[in-house]
Structure 1
Amino acid sequence: MTTVSSIGRRSSAPTVTSPIKPILRKSTSSVLGTRARSDDSDGADEDAPPAKRQKKTVAFNEELNMIKEISGKSLEDAKREVRQALEGHARGDDEDYDLLKDLFAPTGKQLTPDEEDEEEDEDGEAPKPQDLMVYVVALTGSVPLLGRSCSGLLRSVLRCSWLERDESFARAYIQLLAALSSVQGPLFAQVLTMIVGKFTETRHTSAVAGFAPVDPETKKKWLHVGLKYLLELFPAGQHMILNLVSTKFPYTEESKAVHMEYIDHLLRLKDARPELERDIMELILSRLVKLDVEMTLDLENDDDETTRAVLRQLEASDAKNDDDDDDSDADSVLSDDDDLTEQAKRVLMIKSKLETMDAILDLLFSIYNPVFEDPETPEAVEVFQDMLSDFSNVILPHLKSRHTQYLLFKFAMKSNQLMEMFIGTLFNLAFESNRAPVVKQAAVAYLASFTARGAHVQSEQVQMITKTFLGYIDHYRASHTNCRGPDVRRYSQYYAYFQGLLYIFCFRWRDLIDRDLLPPSLDWDDPASFIGQDLPWMAGLKSTLQANIGSKLNPLKCCSPVIVDEFARLSHHLRLMYIYPQIEKNKSVHLSQFFTGSYATGGALRDTGFEFDDEKWAHLEACFPFDPFQLPVARRWLDLQNSYVSWQPMAVLDGLEEEDDEEEENGEEDGEEEGFVEDTATDEEEGGM
């Protein structure tokens, strides 16, 4: 026999001065005169026998229960009434059965702070709490009599407002749930579904007539006392609960308050069942990534005015300091308010998603931060390994994620060991042959972005990563000598590495210089002092870039023009190479001529909505995951001053470029500073292709 000593406890019976009438009618030995089954009855077979007792039942321990006699009615009398109601229902007499169902009808209501005060002042003439509790106890002992024909009663029991009552009722009700769960598997699934369904219903104080108002914390406590108890009794329920919490997770359109309430319940479940921690944290992270991607796409698809409006809304929210109990402005978006334009509704919806994402990420930072106070501990290393696993499975595949990955960035900056673990993971993902191309390209973007933006990435590490990239693109070029011309679809992996190289150079070009060979006159901390100097670049950088830029793969044509232009400026003024002639020549190269099949005729492009004459779609997207962090609340966790490399364009270049423009106008620029071999697609085109 399984007892419920973990939740029940001995308590004296409540004192009641006047008896009450039985809630159910007194039964008779005859069924004559009873009313027929109503149209809204359970609809099960009237001749179906009561359910057989199962092999395993959870017995109700009367010694541990606090209910012996209530309002003059003994527990035995209540048990007899409940049993007669169930037996009568099995015979087709539903009068007592329907009354029993009505007893459990939900009656709780949410209260505002003002209503709480009024509720406490009422004289309490409503039905007493014990009127229902005695039948909860009695029904617990009669659970084996509940057959399939009692589904209506079971639905009513599971809809009962049990969290809005007192502690004694909560304990008795939890024991009823345990007894129901022992009867059959589907009932256990319904019980767990009911509990998870309440994860978004506990953030307000609520009350039932005759009970004092119950605050959110108390409701959460008893909800998880019951859930923990059920999972201890039925360990197989862990798989069911994971599926349920994933299915019931709030939609992205739900408010921040709803999301945070739900996640709070998930974290309580994690604390109660540590074996579920990895699954729960991965679930939270995956939904955060989904929000992150949706918000990024929303802002990309809208015009600049919408983006500015969202930022204004966020600033207004920060000024008001809205508390967590207030629903997001998205609630007004979802309403049928005719005063709001479609753009205003969209602005508020995007703002709501951004606030939700900001709050969730801020919470995750607060959870992980204490673990990494000492990043060298075995616990910190183990947790970071788990984070790397979640990164590989959840974050990396979604290159549109803009903020979630900063969890890895922040804590990787904590120590050289963690940073090397992150870089090593990215290398494995980028170079393993069995990885999908899209995963490899995403890993390359992450590796280049982390190298460029991570202030604690040492010069030796920057050079090692750069050499690896140089080796890859040169091997790729040598292996594709039959290349007809630039094709971002066919050679996307190559262009991803080349673009990553350009991006690293733009941020970390000083780390690609042999410091031991620098003239003493140069000031390392003054980038402008390097302009116009003959610098000792790391071995292989200049020659490899030249060979690839001049190849038929023509990477400058396919990489993002923004990155190419910035690289051209810096490499020219730092005397690495002069690539403007190649950029000019590329203007006459039409990428469409190198596509085959339906792409050659433009059919596939028209099918996907692309304009055939617009080649912007053929450029590799400039998507680097550690671009500036924009969330206003969560950014407090990032040490952007010391651990993040911000883009700082050199103003001195503007003056130099003005001089270059004047020289070009006077015909003094001959464009032959570098003179690398030109075997590009342009030459083939001129040769009659």
Structure 2
Amino acid sequence: MVSVVPVAGPYEPKALQHPKKPLLRRPTVAGAIRKSNDADLSDELLSTPTKRARVTFNPTVEEKVMETYSAKGKSVEAIRAEVRRAIELHKNGESVEYDALKELFAPADKGDPSDYDEEDEEAAAIARVDLKTYLVVLTNNASLLKGCASLVRGVLTCDWVGRDTGFVKAYIQFLGHLASAQGSYVGLVLDMLVSYFHGVRISSGRLPGYPDVSRNQLSSRIHIALKHVLSVIPAAGAALSQILTSKFPFADESKNAHMTYINNLMYLLGYAPHLKSDIFALITDRLVKIDVQMQVDLDDLDDEVAAAIVHAMSLNSSANTDGGRSDESDIDSVTSGDGLDEDSKRIKEIQSNVEKMDAILDLLFATYKPYFLDPHSHEATEMFDTLLAHFQKIILPTYRSRHTQFLLFHFSQTADYLIDQFAGTCAQLAFDSSRPAVLRQSSAAYLASFVARGVHVQPHVVRTVFELIGSKLDEIRTENEVTCRGPNLRRYGTFYAMTQALLYIFCFRWRDLLIADDVFDEDDESTPFRGQDLHWVPNIKEILFRTIHSKLNPLKICSPPIVAEFAKIAKHLEFMQVYPLLETNKRVRLSQYSSAQGSGAIRDSGLSSSDESWHQLDAYFPFDPYQLPVSKKWVEGDYVQWRGIPGLNQDDDDTEDETEEKVDVDLESEDTATDNDDE
């Protein structure tokens, strides 16, 4: 290791050198900041201990004294004059010397070192020292670089990250001075640094004539440079956010590309915490897009094929946990497709997207977790506010998002006040008449699914939400029942979405709607619920009765599988009998009440308006069983699985049950099938 120590004369320890400036002259603020930044750069690049002395000596370092700070080939004064002349001539329209100056920073030739003789190697060594001197001169003349964009681009594209520590330090100082002196180049500097977020090639640390640099060191140097630029130009954060967004990997790029980029974003947060909201919003936005496309692709496949993909991923994740292939192999795992038919290619692409989604979510769960170790801390409150903002702006408006929302599902259940906050937000959005109908209906679906599926949602919360929705339904019913001609999703979409929410909550959490004095043994199959005199919380039964039997006729609009399951459970518990109404509804044609083809409801169907299902709500509940095999561990303890009711499946002798059998899919069979697939 060689340390070059430039001095003005014979070597003296720094502490003994005589000052050349008056001792009483105060340093400028800019000078103090620059010295502080330069010191920080030295510390980070050389990896010195956190607590260090002002002067340290390393016995393994060879001290080499130079009489003046000059290059072997050219003096500093000669290079300074050359640079100034080239820039001035360029501004006057003569670019020969200017172009030669740019060429100095062209990427190094990575040819076979054995092709060089001693003279070539000596010339290359001189050129390397000269290049650093040129860089130092450009740094000191950064104010002259206005109008020299091509030269700046040339310097920014040089092979700097894999050179020796001295050159890297000089280069980072150049970036800081350039960004400070010429604000128009800040975007170019940031763009160059962020481009390395996609991954630094190991060949960048194998430059001829320089010591090898590891990939971790290369990545570290990128972040040291970016940290330095942000410290010099704090206002560069806004420009950096835009560049981070523009350079985020496309949805069809590999898992490795996404994980490399996102890991660099997480590293960036360590020294730029003010970008936390922007970075998490960016990741969430792109994750939702992958999530939606993945779900669309899975829905287009046969159920058996989709299940086989998830099962294969589970096996792969187990193999990796047991010491299977490393992440390095993911670079080459993108489907080549040379010997595959179109269906096989498509299945491999879908599996790649599922793996990508799974890996990103697993990383996000791990990243958010430290903030919620103490869910009552300021950090947890602040981070949950960030999650809620992303939910309202990104997740909620995106129909068919399947897994991203489980970040809210998991972390909101870390504390009772967070449960109240998330449920309250969903309720507020569902009741806000100023919002589009589709968002209000989606909010109602989130509220119902969260209350129904959250293990840590306490019974009093279930009752409060039930009563809150019920009172809102009474308001809507009172306002519209007089003029209502019949069921109409377009006119009363919010009413139907909230009714469906109540039906769904009842199916999963009816036990929490009972008065606490009612105690029974559900595990005893010999004592079915039929005939028991269950006592319900006041107003529960009355709310549903008024809603269901109103002129708005919600059981005709709500999703048939949910209606069928509610009818079955309500009858069995002797809570309510709705089968006669269902029989009557068979003769009701929804098309006669619909004034337009579009309903604005939560639907994604290609059916014609003459089809009854076009005028009915979709059975969309965002917290249906989680399917991603690696990241599912984060939510397993938060999730209410479907629980059957003893004696319910034995009621096959009534005419009402014949009606039930005509329903294609009910909640129990659908949910049980999904849960079994997860296992």
When normalised by structure 2's length, the TM-score is 0.79
Q: CA deviation at 1:662?
A: 11
Report what 1:603 is aligned to.
none
621-630 or 173-182, which deviates more: 173-182
Q: Is the Cα–Cα contact under 8 Å of residues 309 and 347 in structure 1 kept in the other structure?
A: no
What is the rounded CA distance, in whole Å, between the counterparts of 1:250 and 1:530 in structure 2?
Answer: 55
Q: CA deviation at 1:549?
A: 2.4
Which of residues 643, 650, 653 in structure 1 aligns to 2:648?
Answer: 653
SS of the residue aligned with 1:423? Answer: helix
Q: 1:663 to 1:199 in 2, by over 3 A?
A: closer
Specify the code of the residue in structure 2 equivalent to 1:401: S
Report what 2:22 is aligned to.
none
Specify the code of the residue in structure 2 equivalent to 1:173: Y
SS of the residue aligned with 1:456? Answer: coil
Report what 1:201 is aligned to.
199
User: What pairs with 1:44-123 in structure 2 (closer than 5 Å)?
Assistant: 68-90=69-91, 92-107=93-108
Report what 1:35 is aligned to.
none
Report what 2:343 is aligned to.
343
Tell whether 2:591 aligns with 1:592: yes
Q: Is the Cα–Cα contact under 8 Å of residues 597 and 609 in structure 2 kept in the other structure?
A: no
- Taking only aligned residues, the RMSD between alpha carbons, in angstroms, comes to 3.3
Q: Is the Cα–Cα contact under 8 Å of residues 66 and 168 in structure 1 kept in the other structure?
A: no
Tell whether 2:617 aligns with 1:626: no
Unaligned runs of 5+ residues in structure 2 are 1-27, 43-65, 600-604, 660-679
Q: Is the Cα–Cα contact under 8 Å of residues 489 and 594 in structure 2 kept in the other structure?
A: no
What is the rounded CA distance, in whole Å, between the counterparts of 1:597 and 1:575 in structure 2?
Answer: 39
Q: CA deviation at 1:652?
A: 3.4
What is the rounded CA distance, in whole Å, between the counterparts of 2:67 and 2:423 in structure 1?
Answer: 60
Q: CA deviation at 1:73?
A: 3.0
SS of the residue aligned with 1:326? Answer: helix
- 1:89-127 Cα offsets, whole Å, 9 max, x none, are 4455544333322222234889xxxx9xx99xx999593
Q: CA deviation at 1:494?
A: 0.6
- 1:7-26 Cα offsets, whole Å, 9 max, x none, are 54699xxxxxxxxxxxxxxx
What is the rounded CA distance, in whole Å, between the counterparts of 2:352 and 2:568 in structure 1?
Answer: 40
Specify the code of the residue in structure 2 equivalent to 1:5: K
Q: CA deviation at 1:495?
A: 0.7
Q: CA deviation at 1:163?
A: 1.1
Report what 1:371 is aligned to.
371
What is the rounded CA distance, in whole Å, between the counterparts of 2:306 and 2:85 in structure 1?
Answer: 66
Q: CA deviation at 1:525?
A: 5.8
What is the rounded CA distance, in whole Å, between the counterparts of 1:269 and 1:247 in structure 2?
Answer: 16
Q: 1:143 to 1:469 in 2, by over 3 A?
A: closer
Report what 2:675 is aligned to.
none
Tell whether 2:162 aligns with 1:159: no
Specify the code of the residue in structure 2 equivalent to 1:71: K
Tell whether 2:569 aligns with 1:570: yes
SS of the residue aligned with 2:270? Answer: helix
386-395 or 228-237, which deviates more: 386-395
Report what 1:605 is aligned to.
none
Specify the code of the residue in structure 2 equivalent to 1:194: M
Q: Is the Cα–Cα contact under 8 Å of residues 306 and 343 in structure 1 kept in the other structure?
A: no
Specify the code of the residue in structure 1 equivalent to 2:293: E
What is the rounded CA distance, in whole Å, between the counterparts of 1:398 and 1:433 in structure 2?
Answer: 19
Q: 1:620 to 1:266 in 2, by over 3 A?
A: same
Q: CA deviation at 1:567?
A: 1.0
Specify the code of the residue in structure 1 equivalent to 2:615: A
Q: CA deviation at 1:570?
A: 0.9
Q: 1:363 to 1:251 in 2, by over 3 A?
A: same
Q: Is the Cα–Cα contact under 8 Å of residues 203 and 325 in structure 1 kept in the other structure?
A: no
Specify the code of the residue in structure 1 equivalent to 2:630: V
User: What pairs with 1:368-447 in structure 2 (closer than 5 Å)?
Assistant: 368-447=368-447
579-588 or 227-236, which deviates more: 579-588
Q: CA deviation at 1:66?
A: 14
Q: Is the Cα–Cα contact under 8 Å of residues 158 and 191 in structure 1 kept in the other structure?
A: yes
User: What pairs with 1:260-659 in structure 2 (closer than 5 Å)?
Assistant: 260-315=259-314, 317-318=316-317, 319-320=319-320, 321-327=324-330, 331-332=334-335, 337-481=337-481, 482-516=483-517, 518=518, 522-523=520-521, 529-596=528-595, 610-640=607-637, 643-650=638-645, 652-657=647-652, 659=653
Q: Is the Cα–Cα contact under 8 Å of residues 296 and 400 in structure 1 kept in the other structure?
A: yes
Q: Is the Cα–Cα contact under 8 Å of residues 314 and 630 in structure 2 kept in the other structure?
A: no
Report what 2:175 is aligned to.
177
% of aligned pairs identical? Answer: 43
SS of the residue aligned with 2:329? Answer: coil
SS of the residue aligned with 1:288? Answer: helix
What is the rounded CA distance, in whole Å, between the counterparts of 2:438 and 2:534 in structure 1?
Answer: 37
What is the rounded CA distance, in whole Å, between the counterparts of 2:190 and 2:536 in structure 1?
Answer: 64
Specify the code of the residue in structure 2 equivalent to 1:231: L
What is the rounded CA distance, in whole Å, between the counterparts of 2:437 and 2:537 in structure 1?
Answer: 29
What is the rounded CA distance, in whole Å, between the counterparts of 1:109 and 1:438 in structure 2?
Answer: 58
SS of the residue aligned with 2:284? Answer: helix
- 1:238-273 Cα offsets, whole Å, 9 max, x none, are 111111112221111111221122122222222212
625-634 or 500-509, which deviates more: 625-634
Specify the code of the residue in structure 1 equivalent to 2:176: A
377-386 or 246-255, which deviates more: 377-386
What is the rounded CA distance, in whole Å, between the counterparts of 2:494 and 2:555 in structure 1?
Answer: 14
Q: 1:427 to 1:74 in 2, by over 3 A?
A: same
Specify the code of the residue in structure 1 equivalent to 2:366: S
Q: 1:493 to 1:405 in 2, by over 3 A?
A: same
When normalised by structure 1's length, the TM-score is 0.78
What is the rounded CA distance, in whole Å, between the counterparts of 2:538 and 2:79 in structure 1?
Answer: 90
Specify the code of the residue in structure 1 equivalent to 2:521: D
What is the rounded CA distance, in whole Å, between the counterparts of 1:191 and 1:67 in structure 2?
Answer: 32
What is the rounded CA distance, in whole Å, between the counterparts of 1:312 and 1:458 in structure 2?
Answer: 33
What is the rounded CA distance, in whole Å, between the counterparts of 1:66 and 1:240 in structure 2?
Answer: 44
User: What pairs with 1:665-684 in structure 2 (closer than 5 Å)?
Assistant: none
What is the rounded CA distance, in whole Å, between the counterparts of 1:662 and 1:405 in structure 2?
Answer: 38
What is the rounded CA distance, in whole Å, between the counterparts of 1:93 and 1:552 in structure 2?
Answer: 85
Q: Is the Cα–Cα contact under 8 Å of residues 473 and 497 in structure 1 kept in the other structure?
A: yes
Q: CA deviation at 1:339?
A: 1.9
Report what 2:247 is aligned to.
248
201-210 or 467-476, which deviates more: 201-210
Q: CA deviation at 1:497?
A: 0.5
Q: 1:395 to 1:143 in 2, by over 3 A?
A: same
What is the rounded CA distance, in whole Å, between the counterparts of 1:578 and 1:109 in structure 2?
Answer: 81
206-215 or 317-326, which deviates more: 317-326
Specify the code of the residue in structure 1 equivalent to 2:78: D
- 1:507-553 Cα offsets, whole Å, 9 max, x none, are 0111112232x3x6x32565863244232222233333233323331
Q: CA deviation at 1:500?
A: 0.5
Q: 1:625 to 1:109 in 2, by over 3 A?
A: farther
Q: 1:445 to 1:459 in 2, by over 3 A?
A: same
What is the rounded CA distance, in whole Å, between the counterparts of 2:303 and 2:248 in structure 1?
Answer: 32
Q: 1:552 to 1:322 in 2, by over 3 A?
A: farther
Q: CA deviation at 1:467?
A: 1.5
Report what 2:35 is aligned to.
5
Q: CA deviation at 1:386?
A: 3.1
Q: Is the Cα–Cα contact under 8 Å of residues 142 and 178 in structure 2 kept in the other structure?
A: yes
Specify the code of the residue in structure 1 equivalent to 2:535: P
Aligned residue pairs, count: 587
Specify the code of the residue in structure 2 equivalent to 1:331: V
Q: Is the Cα–Cα contact under 8 Å of residues 329 and 348 in structure 1 kept in the other structure?
A: no
SS of the residue aligned with 1:193? Answer: helix
